[in-house]
Structure 1
Amino acid sequence: MIDPRIHDESWLQRRHIERDGVRLHYVTAEPEPSGEGAGPIGTIVLVHGFPHFWFTWHRMIPLLVDAGWRVIAPDLRGMGGSDAPADVEAYTPREVVDDLFAVIDDVSPRGGAAEKVVLVGFDFGAGVVYDACHLEPDRVRAVIGMENPFVGTAGSVPPLEGSAMIAEKHFLHLHYFAQPGVAEVDLKGHERDFLARVFWALSADFHYLDVWQHPPGTRYLDALPEAPQLPWRWLSAEELDVYEKEYTRTGFAGPLQWYRAMDVSWRARKEFERQTNPVPYYFVYSEHDPDLEGFHGREPLKKLDRHHDDVRQVRSVPRAGHLMHLEATEDTHREILACLADITATIPE
């Protein structure tokens, strides 16, 4: 079920702003005043990944608003209702972080001392919020990473070059997506099938790294498992309808720029390669996340203090894969609220 408030324009506002010629879309929601003159506890910004857009947070937004938070959920450039620049240089950390704070300032304009916000990042969105902590630490009260614990910049081989070498041995989605004009053509007309297959493959109901058993040159649709008919235990047909409608409208060319810009972003992050994140850090992960298993080196949870100065809490969600906020919604919400309770109690606004 989709909370009916998600479709209520009087409760959930949909807005656009333009920054340096790029039109950005976001949604925002305010809590009901809890007393005379009382405002929100604070502002929390939810940053999605791929293949998502703001709607991936549709279950969490009402929860956070009911808990007293002002919520902002942007569509990252390239995805959803935001513009999709064709140049990969437009997806550098500086550009995307500036987008983020342009949206925040549109909701709560800076005047005197700017409000510090809580950032929550999932998938590519985790990289965005970690970049924000490096580039604009004075504007971030705390950061909550979901699934992806840090962004690696070590080594001398850019990520897409490394992916190409791995893809000579077996299928790798990073390399497949990085080739201009390939995936967007393959997936056109197959949006629903792809979304269902990739969501199922990333879940705890399948072992995602099994797609690596396919040989080089395999199409992603052929490497992914066939998904069972909806509804699933954790996803409804109505929810997938929303994803299908949006990706049928936009296509995949814009979202795939995030993969094609990985080398550009890797080089840009060299600026703070030897710096740790100074912002109070919380991490929520699922027990069966394929990113933790296959994309962050050995035992990534033991490396958190190499990347973050102030690790406050590390919390796990059982029985879920990469899409834990959909697969194990109640458990994920409980862990996020626990982080927020600690932030409210221990970190000044």
Structure 2
Amino acid sequence: MTAHRVVHRDGVRLHYVVQEPPGDGAPLGTVVLLHGFPHFWFTWHRMIPVLAEAGWRVIAPDLRGMGHSDAPAEVTAYAPREVVDDVLAVCDDAGADRVVLVGFDFGAGVAYDTCHLEPGRVRAVIGMENPFMGTAGSVSPLEGSAAMAEKHFLHLHYFAQPGVAEADLAGREREFLTRVFWALSADYHYLDVWQHPPGTTYLEALPQAPPLPWAWLSVEEMDIYEVEYARTGFAGPLQWYRAMDVSWAARKGFERQTNPVPFYFLYSEHDPDLEGFHGREPLAKLGRYHDDVRQVRSVPRAGHLMHLEATEDTHRELLACLADIARSPVDASPS
């Protein structure tokens, strides 16, 4: 059974859930699932019992700004050191030492930052969709996004403007969530939103979505998303976008260092991130960012939300990575 817990770190309330494997034997290890936007711990609700049944202890935090964790108002509060310390605080509270990190979307950045800043706490890392966090060049993410947004709509720039998205989306949480989930899926080509001109709102740029349920998402699941985001609003979650320059500048401190932790990567066939946000042939560049690339596995017929769109395939590929990790010596930690 999933248990909900809270830990406080430097005045910030951090909520997480944990599920133990069945039986009395020792778990194979601890897996920490790190979500992105617009999500919270619930995005993993199908995966958590599967990993626990396979013998792993599972922890799924709400990243700061989202879900039932606090949402600091300052963008500097979302810097890599802060969110990595959140992960460590959750792990310490749960009694987990060296963990396997699974990172999706913004959560992948948190996972990779943890590997750089605290490699001794990470047994292995599994990235989903986002293969690395680049810091190359002299143009910051927000500056680059603003330049692109002069040519066409770009969600990064739209979200980066304080107060704009919050006002547009207030009271329209379900409409936004439904349409953005559909647009990010394999049922739509997400980069088509770039065909809209500058000044377009996100709701104007997103396609109309068919009525729920879909083959991969139920009405009841969307109900839970709607209730959560209607409760919290979008101001906290969007701080992750507004802090992109803060994170970029902090990552400059280790931009010439590769991730020393064993690395596994899962990607989907129709992921818009890989298509539009990581340069040309991103999979060919993994060795530039990760010392020890163990496995690269694909999930067919899925877009960005692979764990929802192709749940069984994603679970199968993730469990294959975890099986390989379980066979590796636990004490082979990077320094």
Interval of TM-score (by shorter of Structure 1 and Structure 2): over 0.9
Determine if the alignment matches structure 1 residue 134 to structure 2 residue 121: no
Deviation at 1:346, TM superposition (A): 2.1
Structure 1 alignment gaps of length 5 or more? 1-10, 110-114
Q: 2:43 aligns with which of 31, 39, 56?
A: 56
Determine if the alignment matches structure 1 residue 234 to structure 2 residue 216: yes
Question: Which residue in 1 is equivalent to 2:75?
Answer: 88
Determine if the alignment matches structure 1 residue 154 to structure 2 residue 154: no
Looking at structure 1, the residues matched to 173 and 320 of structure 2 have their Cα atoms a distance apart, in angstroms, of: 36
Determine if the alignment matches structure 1 residue 20 to structure 2 residue 7: no
Q: 1:101 aligns with which of 83, 88, 94?
A: 88
RMSD of aligned alpha carbons: 0.7
Question: Which residue in 2 is equivalent to 1:121?
Answer: 103
Percentage of matched positions with identical amino acids: 79
Q: 1:341 aligns with which of 317, 320, 323?
A: 323
Instruction: Encode CA deviations 1:209-243: one digit per residue, 9 max, x unaligned.
Output: 00000000000001000010000010000000000
Q: 2:57 aligns with which of 65, 70, 75?
A: 70
Question: Which residue in 2 is equivalent to 1:187?
Answer: 169
How many residues are treated as equivalent by the alignment?
Answer: 331
1:241 maps to amino acid: D
Question: Which residue in 2 is equivalent to 1:8?
Answer: none
2:262 maps to amino acid: P
1:260 maps to amino acid: R
Deviation beyond 6 Å, 4+ runs, structure 1: none
1:309 maps to amino acid: D
Contact 1:49 1:123 in 2 (8 A): yes
Looking at structure 1, the residues matched to 180 and 280 of structure 2 have their Cα atoms a distance apart, in angstroms, of: 24
Question: Which residue in 2 is equivalent to 1:4?
Answer: none
Instruction: Encode CA deviations 1:87-146: one digit per residue, 9 max, x unaligned.
Output: 00000000000000100010016xxxxx31000000000000000000000110000000
Instruction: Encode CA deviations 1:61-80: one digit per residue, 9 max, x unaligned.
Output: 00001011110000000000
Aligned residue for 2:285, secondary structure, equals: helix
1:156 maps to amino acid: S
Aligned residue for 2:153, secondary structure, equals: coil
Q: 1:198 aligns with which of 168, 175, 180?
A: 180
Contact 1:33 1:40 in 2 (8 A): no
1:337 maps to amino acid: L
Q: 2:207 aligns with which of 212, 222, 225?
A: 225
Aligned residue for 1:217, secondary structure, equals: coil
Contact 1:141 1:347 in 2 (8 A): no
2:125 maps to amino acid: V
Q: TM-score normalised to the size of structure 2?
A: 0.98
Structure 2 alignment gaps of length 5 or more? none
